[in-house]
């Protein structure tokens, strides 16, 4: 009886560590500059794979992100990873927490806020920035390829395009971009949420004043009770 109770407890713990799409599996808050050279903070949230009934998958993930906000801040969206710094930080977050494993995503990917659903071959981010000549890209080899399939899973009989984009964790692709079907299989996803209060973390850290060096980060993990401050950040006690 005791052994059975312990198994149940461990199963509950596992459900918390690798949460469903209702709670982030890991987050990172990044301090960057906007296009007008103003400093801003954005919290990136990585979610494990959706439920199989969460149709349409990418649209459901996008709506979920738009409903995210921080204490009266602006609404979130699927993550815009249009520079190497942010893209690399998100992939590091996923790798360091082993979220690319099957315990988190069985279907090998996380939706991000990039799509060519409006115009085939013209990829546009969720902030309406278009990928143009010399803009940052991180496609997996031979991607995007827009492999078409006949959609029979959803009770239809039509060919569908790969109009959405994922961070791909298959065939040794370590989070590089891959065009994917928007509603063929459930995925994990990455949200970004503006954080207007990131200059102080008094609720989490107590009365500590945090002095940021632009471009560095504070990281928190869903399955931990503490916040990890990188050594790139100066903390004045």
Higher pLDDT pick, 142 / 199: 142
Predicted confidence at residue 152, as pLDDT, reads 65
Question: Which of 51-65, 135-149, 220-234 is most confident?
Answer: 51-65
Beta partners for 149?
160
CA end-to-end span of the chain, whole Å?
Answer: 50
Backbone angles phi, psi at 182, to 5 degrees: -75, -25
- Where on the phi/psi map is residue 219: left (φ > 0), alpha (ψ -120 to 50), or beta? beta
- pLDDT tens for each residue of 105-120: 999 999 999 999 999 8
> How many residues are there in the chain?
237
Beta partners for 146?
none
pLDDT mean over 183-208: 71
Distance of CA 58 to the CA centre of its chain: 12
Predicted confidence at residue 111, as pLDDT, reads 98
- pLDDT tens for each residue of 68-121: 999 888 999 999 999 999 999 999 999 999 999 999 999 999 999 999 999 988
Higher pLDDT pick, 26 / 218: 26
Higher pLDDT pick, 215 / 38: 38
**98 is written with which tokens?**
């082993």
Got the DSSP string for 108-156?
SEEEEEEE-SSSTT--EETTS-B--TT----BPTT------EEE-TTS-
| CA separation for the pair 119, 129 (Å, rounded) | 14
Predicted confidence at residue 13, as pLDDT, reads 37
Backbone angles phi, psi at 4, to 5 degrees: -65, -40
pLDDT mean over 39-60: 94
Q: Examine the pLDDT at 6 and tell me if it is beyond 60.
A: no
What does pTM read for this prediction?
A: 0.74
Q: Three-class SS of residue 70?
A: coil
**155 is written with which tokens?**
């009770």
pLDDT mean over 120-138: 91
CB 89 within 8 A of CB 190: no
**% of the chain with per-residue pLDDT over 70:** 70
Helices (H) and strands (E) in the chain, counts: 4, 14
Whether the link from the prior residue into 152 is cis, omega within 30° of 0, is no
């Amino acid at each position: 009886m005791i052994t059975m109770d312990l198994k149940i407890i461990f199963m509950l713990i596992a459900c918390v560590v690798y949460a469903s799409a209702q709670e982030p599996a890991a987050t990172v808050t990044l301090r960057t500059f906007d296009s007008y050279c103003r400093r801003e903070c954005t919290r990136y949230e990585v979610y494990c794979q959706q439920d199989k009934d969460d149709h349409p998958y990418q649209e459901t993930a996008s709506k979920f992100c738009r409903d995210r906000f921080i204490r009266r801040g602006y609404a979130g969206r699927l993550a815009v990873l249009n520079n190497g710094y942010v893209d690399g930080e998100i992939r590091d977050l996923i790798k360091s927490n082993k979220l690319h494993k099957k315990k988190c995503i069985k279907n090998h990917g996380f939706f991000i806020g990039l799509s060519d659903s409006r115009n085939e071959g013209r990829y546009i981010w969720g902030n309406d920035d278009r990928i143009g000549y010399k803009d940052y890209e991180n496609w997996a080899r031979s991607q995007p390829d827009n492999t078409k399939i006949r959609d029979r899973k959803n009770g239809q009989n039509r060919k569908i395009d790969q109009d959405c984009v994922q961070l791909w964790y298959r065939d040794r692709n370590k989070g590089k971009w891959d065009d994917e079907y928007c509603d063929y299989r459930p995925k994990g996803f990455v949200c970004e949420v503006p954080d207007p209060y990131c200059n102080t973390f008094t609720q989490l850290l107590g009365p500590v004043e945090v002095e940021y060096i632009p471009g560095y980060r504070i990281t928190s993990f869903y399955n931990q009770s503490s916040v990890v401050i990188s050594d790139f950040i100066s903390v004045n006690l």
